[in-house]
Amino acid sequence: MTTLAETKTEDLVEYYFEQAWSDGLPVVPPTPEKIAAVIDALGGDPEHLEAVVPPRRGGLTRQILAVNMVMAGCKPEYAPVVRAAMLALCSPAFNLNGVQATTHMVSPLLVVNGPIRREIGMNSGHNVFGSGNRANATIGRAIRMILLSVGGGTPGDLDKSTLGSPAKYTYCIAENEEISPWAPYHVEHGMNPDDSSVFVIASEPPHSVTNHIADDAEGVLDSIISAMSTIAHNNAVSSGSCAVVIGPEHAATISKSGWTRHDVRNYLWMNAGNKFSALSFNDRYGKIYNRNLPRWYKREPDARIPIVPSADDIHLFVAGGEAGRFSAFIPGWGHMTSPVLLRIDGTSPDAAAMCEDGTCRL
Amino acid sequence: MIYDPRGTIDAPVLHLAKRPANLRGLRIGVLDNTKWNGWKLEDRIATTLAQRLSLGPIKRYKKESFSRDARPELLAQIAAESDLVLTGIGD
Amino acid sequence: MHDAIRLETSGIPTAVLVTTVFLHEAKVQREALGMTAIEPVVVTHPLSTLSNEQLDERAAEALEQVVHAWGGK
């Protein structure tokens, strides 16, 4: 850890701005006491290396993790979540190297499941993607600050995103397991309800899905399908995986029709998509064989091209407040990345576990 | 007290492969990064140079995904079957 | 850059194409991965929307650089 000498700068907040050690918002100047509290929460040993963060490949020691968490405004008890999220983001399948450098507006979305959500006071209800909750806001911010400083994802420098997105400040939610009619996401993927987990997916910001009229599963899901069925997002042309967040009122309606999570994901997969003629612009720019889509898709004008290769590539969550007939579709970056689910201790879900109402495959 | 949040870079020191004395007859491996037009450009370069410099045969390999690293088995195969490689990154 | 560096460490001279806007990224990557001596072959951005004629021009930009990267004269 580099500890610079005492600075003459009176205002430490301004000093951190001047060094470009900030996401553009004021940071909390770290103190030895605050850093020590986070390192304790991580298990001690400040020099212990947790991860190497691409593309700069800076070393994320517990000390550096703690410095960034303090600067982002995190409490020490958020430490296991931030650490697990960084382990997930730095696992090879996620391809953080590409996520950080691409021209696309992608940002990692973090979804937290299990008891830790409540223990640290995360918001999974009203305004779940919005502001106003310290845990959601500062966990997501700490991750972004680590991607910026340790990972070197500086805008215009290594980060070549054409437009970026507001999700590049903070993008962290918890599943509303209490209100959901279904098993939580991590249970669907083979964990126990008592496990806590982090799920990361490289994705766009959420796209709102309104439906105030349908009183059955098909109606609500057809609106989500409408949001999914466009040639504008990366899934349409580059496959990969995506997320769907169902609001509690919509979830209740779907569940009242007797549908399981599995039914929902299959229905979405079966009915969302584009015709190949739309993706190929009716050959306006010559005959196109899109090599970023699976080779087993038919390249014929009337063929239906699914948004993602399988229903298991649709990651389904229930989140949001109890009032309001809204859901959200969250397009992914494409086949260049795979989402990652880890237990809060950083271990992978047991592939041999029984999976309730779904699949063990990520 | 000031804390630098960036963390240190601890990279190994790696060296380039030894360059051949003469390129004539050497086998060319072209690793297609699957990016739009990437292979067309690589193909043009490889075929032009092969003709101009009397290089050996060209063999093309395809990555799973343009943004990801190639699988180790694929890289091992390329290394076994090529004397020189052409590949690409970025748009 | 990762692929090129792995091939170089297994003894294969490798020319790695990069467009102008990704040159800086390529240089940062080679530092981060520890192979500072690898010189990317630079062509003008972009590639994805080019016609065949424009691709010929990009190829012409690259030829000498590729030969140099492989160790030829």
Q: Which residues of B touch A60 (CB under 8 A)?
A: 7
Interface with C, mutate which of A60, A96, A97, A281 (most C CBs under 10 A)? A97
Chain B CB contacts of C2 under 8 Å are 69
Neighbours of chain A (3+ CB pairs under 8 A): B, C
A295 touches chain B (CB under 8 A): no
For residue B11, the chain A residues in CB contact (below 8 A) are 57
**pLDDT: which is higher, C69 or A5:** C69
Inter-chain touch C17–B89, beta carbons under 8 Å: yes
Determine the distance in angstroms separating the CA of A341 from the nearest CA of chain C, rounded to an integer: 25
Element (H, E) at B50: helix B38-52
Closest approach of chain B CAs to the CA of A203, in angstroms? 15
Counting Cα atoms < 13 Å in the Cβ hemisphere of A179 gives 22
DSSP C22: G
Q: What is the pLDDT of residue B73?
A: 93
Minimum CA–CA partner of A52 in chain C: C32
Whether B15 and chain C come into contact, CB under 8 Å, resolves to yes
State residue B65's pLDDT score.
76
Look-up of token digits 């003709």: B51
User: Which residues, 6+ apart, have CB-to-CB distance to B46 below 8 Å?
Assistant: B28, B30, B58, B86
- Rounded to two decimals, what is the model's pTM? 0.89
Q: What is each CA distance from A152 to A22, A82, B79, in whole angstroms?
A: 12, 18, 31
- Residue contact C29–A55, C-beta within 8 A: yes
Q: Give pLDDT tens digits along chain A (362 positions).
A: 445 555 544 589 999 999 999 999 999 999 999 999 999 999 999 999 999 999 999 999 999 999 999 999 999 999 999 999 999 999 999 999 999 999 999 999 999 999 999 999 999 999 999 999 999 999 999 999 999 999 999 998 889 999 999 999 999 999 999 999 999 999 999 899 999 999 999 999 999 999 999 999 999 999 999 999 999 999 999 999 999 999 999 999 999 999 999 999 999 999 999 999 999 999 998 888 888 899 999 999 999 999 999 999 999 999 999 999 999 999 999 999 999 999 999 998 765 455 555 454 55
> How far is B39 from chain C, CA to nearest CA, in Å?
10
From A15, A57, A68, residue closest to B9, measured CB to CB: A57
Contacting chains of B (3 CB pairs or more, <8 Å) are: A, C
Q: What is the pLDDT of residues B22-64, one digit of tens each?
A: 999 999 999 987 677 888 999 999 999 999 999 999 999 988 7
Q: Please list every residue in chain C whose beta carbon sits closer than 8 Å to the beta carbon of residue B19.
A: 13, 70-71
Question: Which amino acid belongs to residue A108?
Answer: P
Residue B34 has a pLDDT of 67
pLDDT of residue A352: 47
Q: In this complex, is the C-beta atom of B17 within 8 Å of any C-beta atom belonging to chain C?
A: yes
Q: Do B16 and C38 touch (CB under 8 A)?
A: yes
Residue A236 contacts B where some CB pair is shorter than 8 Å? no
Hey, what amino acid is at C28? V
A56 vs C2, C22, C28: nearest CB: C28
